[in-house]
Amino acid sequence: MNQRKNSGVAVLLYNLDGSERARKIKFILVRMGVRIKNIKKEDYLKPIGALAGVPGIEPGGSCYDGPGFTEEMLVMKGMTMASTWLVAVISFPSRINLPESFW
């Protein structure tokens, strides 16, 4: 896909640093022309719109210093349903129940 075509598309990645799954997800997203941002625990108080690059939404100055969470999470902005399913199936195949005939 063309980067210009997906200029408003972004994915925020939570707890996906350094793993093989993270590498695969990032590879797919880059090939799709999606802007990727790794979210750190310190960013938890910032509005999601600011983190995703929505114009007019300011990040503010607060820094989160409480406990984090360990689950992997993707927050997608501006993706079509087909693109969302593609990323979900490739990223988390064991969590999506698809019939054997799908593969």
Q: Is the pLDDT of residue 4 over 60?
A: no
Query: Which pLDDT score is estimated for 98?
Result: 61
Give the number of other Cβ atoms within 10 Å of residue 36's Cβ.
14
* 3-class SS shares of the chain: helix, strand, coil, % to 5: 35, 15, 50
Residue scoring higher pLDDT (99 or 10): 10
Q: How do residues 46-99 score in pLDDT, each as one tens digit?
A: 999 999 999 999 988 889 999 999 988 889 999 888 887 777 777 776 666 666
Tokens 């719109």, located at residue: 49
Q: Is the pLDDT of residue 10 over 80?
A: yes
Give pLDDT, residue 97: 65
Phi, psi of 42 (to 5 degrees): -65, -20
| Distance between first and last Cα of the chain | 23
Q: What is the pLDDT of residue 46?
A: 94
Res 7 pLDDT > 80: no
pLDDT of residue 1: 41
